[in-house]
Structure 1
Amino acid sequence: MKRLIVAAGGGGDAVAAAMLHAALYGDDGGPALILTYSWDRLIVDPVPGPRSPADFTGLRQLTPHVWAVPGTATLKPPHAATLPRLAAEIPHTFALIDPYAGAAGITRQLNELINHFAPETIDLLDVGGDILAHGDEPTLRSPLADALTLAACARTEAPVRLLVAGPGLDGELPADVLRPHLGPLLTTFTPEHTQAIIPVLTWHPSEATALLTATALGARGLCEIRDAGLPVPLTAEGPTVHQVDLARALAANRLAQTIAATTTLDEAEERCRTVCGTSEIDYERAKAQRRSEHQPTDAVPHDLLTQIKNFEQAAVTRETTYTTVRRLAEVLGLTNAALPHLTRLNTARDSHLPASVWKLHHTGELQDAQEGPARA
C-alpha cells in the first residue's frame, strides 16, 4: 500500500482519513492503510477506554504486532465498536492501534508497518487540532489518544507529515488559538470529497468529522456538540486541511513528551493525570458509573417531538443554528439504540448535510416526518 494514514484520535479521524485520501490521492495507488484506535464514546461502547486486539474476534494479522480489522470482525461482549462496520463500508484497510503497550508500543507498530509496506507517504491526521495542545488546557476533553500517536509518530523510522483538518471543530481548542500554530494550507475539502463518507455519517457518532463534512457542504453558523453543549463555530475555515511541523508540535505538547517512552497504557494514563489533572478514561469511568445509576432508556419517548422542540427553542436563545444527533440523544437521555430514529427524522427533512448534523428550526417538518409513515 502506497499510503499510510494514522488517525490521531481514532473514531472520526478514521472516517476523515477516507475523505483525506480522496482529496489528496484519489485513486493513486489504490486503497490506503488507515491505522486507528477502536475507541468509541460510551453511547456506543459501554466499556471505558480503547479496545485491544484481545477484545475482537476475526482480526487479520498484518505484522507481529499489528492486526487489520475486517468488516466481518466482531467484538466480545460487553464491548462494542464502530470500526468493523466502518471497514465494511469504506474501501480502505483499517488496522488497529493497540495503546496497551504505551507510546513505545505504537511506535513499534508503526515501524513494523513501514518496514512491511514501505509506504510512499505517512500522514498523521487530526480533526479539530487538539493534537496541538500543550496538554493542560482546561477545555481539553481527550488529550491522551492524540498525545500517544503524536509521540509515537515522532519516533518512527520514516518521516511523518502532521495534518490538522477542520481547526476547532472538535470543540476543544478554538480556531483562534490554533491558527498561529498551523502551517501551510494543504487542501480544502469540497462536496465531491465527502461523498464516500456521507452514508457512514448516518450511523457513525463522530461529531467533529460530521461538522468537517457539513462545512465542506456549506454549513455556516454555530453548532452545539457533546453532552456539555460545547459551542463550535462553522465557518469557511472548517473544511481546510493544514500541514503542521511535527517536531514543533511535539516540542509544544508537554503531555506527548511526558508519555513518549511509556510501555503501558496505565503508565501513560498516570502521566496524563500528572500533566492534565485527569485522563479521558477517568472521565469515561465516571460517566459510565453515572449511566449505570441512571440508565437511559432504549425506548423512543412518546413526546419526543415535544422534547426536541423544547430543546430547539432553548438552543435558539443561545444563538445556536445546529446541533448533532449525538448531542440530542445525550440531552434527551437516550441510548445508542435510539440514534437511528433521530437520524431518520433528520433525513426525512431532506437536508443536504450529514444525517448526524441537525439544523434547528424545523419542528414542523419533524411533525410531518413523524406522521407521514403512519398516514401511509
Structure 2
Amino acid sequence: MTRLIVAAGGGGDAVAAAMLHAALYGDEDQAVILTYAWDRLLIDPIPGPRGADNFTGLEPITRSVQSVPATAEPIAPAGSTLPRLAAELPHTFALLDPHHGVEGVTRQLEELIDHLTPASIDLLDVGGDILAHGDEPTLKSPLADALTLAACCQVNAHIRLLVAGPGLDGEVPPDDLRPLFGPLVHSFTAQDVESVGSVLEWHPSEATAMLAATARGARGICEIRDAGFAVPLTDEGPTVHEVDLDDAISRNTLARAIMTTATLDEAEAYSREICGFSEIDYERNKAAWLTEQPPTKLDPDDVLSRLDQFQREARARGVTHTTFRHITEALGLPGNQRDHLRTLLIENRPHQYAALLWELPSESEQQAR
C-alpha cells in the first residue's frame, strides 16, 4: 500500500511529511514524498528551486518524475538536503520540478498517481501560507505553495489538504486560518517526533523545527528568520487540520492566476504582480549581497559575547526561544557557518538547547552567569 504525500513548499514540509506518515499510517509501506529541491540560501547558494538537470544519480519513476536516492548528488555549486533525507529516512523522495510552471507540476502529479495508484494523497503545508490571499504584510514565500496548490486542484484524484502548525511559518496569522479549518486530523506528540528527530538536528527548517518543538512541549515566543519575526509557541502548534481544497484555491489569488503557466518565470511574474514581490527575487538579491561579504571565521569568545548581547535584547522584546538560523543571521554570520555556530553554542551552553530550539535565559539567569 503506497501513500503519496505532496510537500507543498518543499524543505521542511518534506520532513514534516515523514513525521505525518509515521503518525497517521504507522508501520505501513513507506511513503512517496513529492517535494521541491528548494533549500534556500542556507544550503543552496543558487536562488530558486533545483531541477533534475542540477543532480547526478537520479532514478526515473515516470517519464517526468525522478526520485532522489541517497547516492544522488547536486551538481556544484548547487546544494540540496534531499540526498541526505533519502539516506536517513525510509521514504522515496520524488523530485517536484516547477520549471515548466503549473502545467509541468500537474503533469508530474498525474503521472505519479497513475503509476503508484496510491491509497491516499495528502498535500501538506506547515504553517498555512498555502492559504494566503497574497497581500498579507508578513507573507514571504507564496510561490512554491501556490504552484503545488494550483496543480493539485487540476488533478482528477481525491487530494486531502492538511495544514500543520498553524502560523508557525510566521506568514499568515493563526486567527486568519482558523475559520478555514475542517476536522482536526492529528496533534503531534513527542513520540511522533522520534521518527524524524535525528534529521531535525541538522535540517535548517525553522517552521518544522518549531512544529516538532511544540510537540515536545516548548511554549513561549520564538524569533525567526533574518528579520526576527516573533512566532507564538502554543498548544495549537502541534496540530494538523484538514482544509477544503476548493476553499483554499478560492482564497489563494496567486494559485488561481498561475493555473495555466508553462514556465517558472511566468509564474514568478504573476507573484510580482499579485503579491508585490517574488521570493526568488529576494533570494537573488540576498545571494548577490552574500557574495560581496568577506570570509568570516568564528571567534568563539567574540561570538559568545555578541550572543549574550543579542539574548538580553531579545528577552527585553519578550522572546523566549529562537532558531539557529536566526542566531546566525542576528550575529551577522554567513549561512554556511550555521552548523559551526550551532556546535559552538551547544558545547558551551548545553542547558539552553531545548527541543530543537535555543532557549533564551531569563534576566536573572544572565546576571547569575
How would you bin the TM-score normalised by the shorter chain? over 0.9
Structure 2, gaps ≥5 residues long: none
- Please tell me whether residue 192 in structure 1 is matched to residue 199 in structure 2: no
Is 2:29 the counterpart of 1:14?
no
- 1:89 alignment partner in structure 2: 88
TM-score of the superposition, structure 1-length normalised?
0.93
- Which deviates more from structure 2 when the two are superposed, residues 221-230 or residues 131-140? 131-140
* 8 Å CA contact 1:136, 1:276 repeated in 2: yes
Q: Secondary structure at the match of 1:312?
A: helix
Structure 2 counterpart of 1:311: 310
Greater mean alpha carbon deviation, residues 346-355 or residues 317-326: 346-355
Q: Distance in 1 between matches of 2:133 and 2:364?
A: 45
More displaced stretch, 167-176 vs 335-344: 335-344
Structure 1 residue aligned with 2:147: 148
Matches of 2:113 and 2:137, distance apart in 1: 36
Residues 1:229 and 2:253 aligned together: no
| Separation in 2, partners of 1:82, 1:298 | 24
Paired position in structure 1 for 2:359: 359
Cα-to-partner distance string for 1:350-370 (whole Å, 9 max, x where unaligned)? 567444x1111189999xxxx
Q: Name the amino acid aligned to 1:10.
A: G
Name which of structure 1's ranges 357-366 and 64-73 shifts more when overlaid on structure 2.
357-366
SS in 1 for 2:290: helix
Q: Is the 8 A contact 1:69 1:95 kept in 2?
A: yes
Contact preservation (8 Å) 1:198, 1:354: no
Matched, 1:179 2:178: yes
* RMSD between superposed Cα atoms in Å: 1.8
Q: Distance in 2 between matches of 1:337 and 1:289?
A: 15
8 Å contact kept, 2:352–2:360 = no
Looking at structure 1, the residues matched to 124 and 236 of structure 2 have their Cα atoms a distance apart, in angstroms, of 17
Provide structure 1 residue ranges, at least 5 long, that are not aligned to the other structure.
367-376
How many residue pairs were aligned? Answer: 364
Matches within 5 A, 1:96-245: 96-245=95-244
Query: Which stretch of structure 1 is more off in the superposition, 140-149 or 296-305?
Result: 296-305
1:41-70 residue CA offsets vs partner (Å, 9 max, x unmatched): 212111100000000001001000001001
Residue in structure 2 matched with residue 73 of structure 1 by the alignment: 72
Separation in 1, partners of 2:59, 2:184: 36
Matching residue of 1:42: 41
Q: Distance in 2 between matches of 1:336 and 1:230?
A: 18
Q: What is the SS of the residue equivalent to 2:182? A: coil
Asked if structure 2 preserves the Cα contact closer than 8 Å seen for 1:151 and 1:250, the reply is yes
Question: Is contact 2:36–2:50 with CA below 8 Å preserved after alignment?
Answer: yes
In structure 2, what is the Cα distance between the partners aligned to 1:191 and 1:232?
20
Q: Look up the equivalent residue of 2:193 and give its one-letter code.
A: T
SS at match of 2:340: helix
Once the two structures are TM-superposed, the CA of residue 205 in structure 1 deviates from its matched residue by 0.4
Structure 1 equivalent of residue 329 of structure 2: 330
Residue 250 of structure 2 is matched in structure 1 by 251
1:258-298 per-position Cα deviation (integer Å, ceiling 9, x unaligned): 00111100110011111111110011111112112224625
Could you tell me how far apart the structure 1 residues matched to 2:141 and 2:210 are? 18
> Which whole-Å CA distance do the structure 1 matches of 2:78 and 2:281 have between them?
18
Q: Once the 2 structures are TM-superposed, how far is the Cα of residue 143 of structure 1 from its aligned partner?
A: 0.1
* Conserved 8 A contact 1:300-1:338: no
Q: Tell me if structure 1 keeps the 8 A contact 2:189–2:215.
A: yes
Question: Per the alignment, do residues 315 and 89 of structure 1 end up closer, same or farther by CA in structure 2, a change over 3 Å counting?
Answer: same
Q: Report Cα offsets for 1:4-62 as digits up to 9, x if no partner.
A: 0000000000000011001110012x110000001012121111000000000010010
Contact kept, 8 Å, 1:202 with 1:354, in 2: the verdict is no
CA distance in 2, matches of 1:168, 1:125: 14
**Equivalent residues of 1:221, 1:321 under 8 A apart:** yes
User: Cα offset for 1:210?
Assistant: 0.1
Distance 1:245 1:68, change over 3 A: same
Displacement after TM superposition at 1:138 (Å): 1.9
Q: Structure 1: which amino acid aligns with 2:360?
A: L
Give per-residue Cα distances to partners, 1:225-276, cap 9 Å, x unaligned: 0000000000000000000000110011110000011110011001111111
Give the AA of the match of 1:9. G
Would the aligned equivalents of 2:315 and 2:363 in 1 still touch at CA under 8 Å?
A: no
